[in-house]
C-alpha cells in the first residue's frame, strides 16, 4: 500500500466524523440563532446597575456575543459542508459495488474481514477494492485541480 492509499484512507476515515459534526453544528446554529434573536434587555434600570448584578452582562454585550457565536458556527458549517460534499461528489463516481464497500468500511466502520463476510468475497478482494477506491479518489482529485 502506497502513500496515496493512506492519504485517501485518512480522508475517508474522517468522513463519518465530519457528517456527525456537521449535523451537530447545524443543531447548535439553530440554538444560537434563537438566542441571538431572543436576547433582550433585562429588567434593570441602567447600565451601571447591570455591572453590579451578579453574572449579568449589559444587553448589548450579550447580543454581540450571541451574534459572534452564530457567525463562528456558520463558518464551521461551511468548512464541514465542503469536506462532506467533496467526498460525496467522489462517491457519485463509484460503481454500486465499490460504493457499498465504501459505505461498509467508512460509514459503518466495519473491518475488512467483516466486509468480506458480508459481501461474500475474500479478504484480499476487499483489500484490492479499497485500494481501487483510493486510487480512483487520488486520480479524481488530480483531475479536479
- C-beta pairs of 139-143 under 8 Å, 24+ apart in sequence: 140/90, 140/93, 141/90
> Which pLDDT band holds residue 39 (cuts at 50, 70, 90)?
low
Residue 11 clears pLDDT 70, i.e. is over it: yes
Between 8-12, 40-44, 73-77, the lowest mean confidence (pLDDT) is in 40-44
Q: For the segment 77-122, what is each residue's pLDDT rounded down to a tens digit?
A: 999 999 999 999 999 999 999 999 999 999 999 999 999 999 999 9
From residue 115, alpha-carbon distances to 8, 33, 68, 119 in Å are 19, 42, 45, 6
Place of cell 440554538: 31
Q: What is the pTM of this model?
A: 0.74
Amino acid at each position: 500500500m502506497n502513500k496515496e492509499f493512506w492519504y485517501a484512507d485518512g480522508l475517508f476515515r474522517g468522513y463519518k466524523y465530519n457528517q456527525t459534526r456537521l449535523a451537530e453544528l447545524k443543531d447548535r446554529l439553530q440554538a444560537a440563532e434563537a438566542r441571538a434573536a431572543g436576547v433582550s434587555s433585562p429588567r434593570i434600570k441602567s447600565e451601571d446597575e447591570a455591572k453590579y448584578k451578579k453574572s449579568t452582562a449589559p444587553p448589548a454585550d450579550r447580543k454581540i456575543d450571541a451574534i459572534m457565536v452564530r457567525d463562528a458556527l456558520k463558518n464551521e458549517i461551511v468548512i464541514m459542508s465542503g469536506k462532506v460534499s467533496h467526498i460525496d461528489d467522489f462517491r457519485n463516481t463509484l460503481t454500486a459495488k465499490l460504493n457499498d464497500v465504501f459505505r461498509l468500511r467508512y460509514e459503518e466502520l466495519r473491518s475488512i474481514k467483516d466486509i468480506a463476510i458480508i459481501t461474500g468475497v475474500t479478504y484480499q478482494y476487499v483489500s484490492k477494492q479499497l485500494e481501487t477506491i483510493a486510487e480512483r479518489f487520488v486520480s479524481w482529485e488530480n483531475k479536479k485541480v
